[in-house]
Amino acid sequence: QVQPVESGGGLVQAGGSLRLSCATSGRTFSSYAMGWFRQAPGKEREFVAAISYGGSVTYYGDSVKGRFTISRDNTKNTVYLQMNSLKPEDTAVYYCAAGRYSGSRRLNEYDYWGQGTQVTVSS
């Protein structure tokens, strides 16, 4: 069992960058596939990025491909989301999640969720 805790959100101007971190408790972090999702006001939660257990394979949603990079450090039980060239439409609460299936884009295939961190991009 893991408990994700996100950090690193904030307010940034369009074109800027932010790096989100997701630290997890528990001793089995490397046995979980990790993902990032986001939810904007009035919209459904959507897939952003995912990473395999060892970190060698990554997956991205179409809207962030080429701008965001997901990575993980299994020695620190932490997954990261580097966000570059941010746009106002990236404004959302970003959630980190741990699941069993590498690369899954489905919310119901992630077992553990963090509380989220707010990212606001001003124009």
- The full length of the chain comes to 123
pLDDT of 26 reads: 76
Contact 87, 14 (CB under 8 A): yes
Residues 21, 38: Cα–Cα separation, whole Å: 14
Residues 118, 94: Cα–Cα separation, whole Å: 6
User: pLDDT of the chain along its 123 residues, tens only?
Assistant: 889 999 999 999 999 999 999 999 877 899 999 999 999 999 999 999 999 999 999 999 999 999 999 999 999 999 999 999 999 999 999 999 999 999 999 999 999 999 999 999 999
pLDDT of 27 reads: 77
What is the distance of C-alpha 88 from the center of its chain?
A: 18
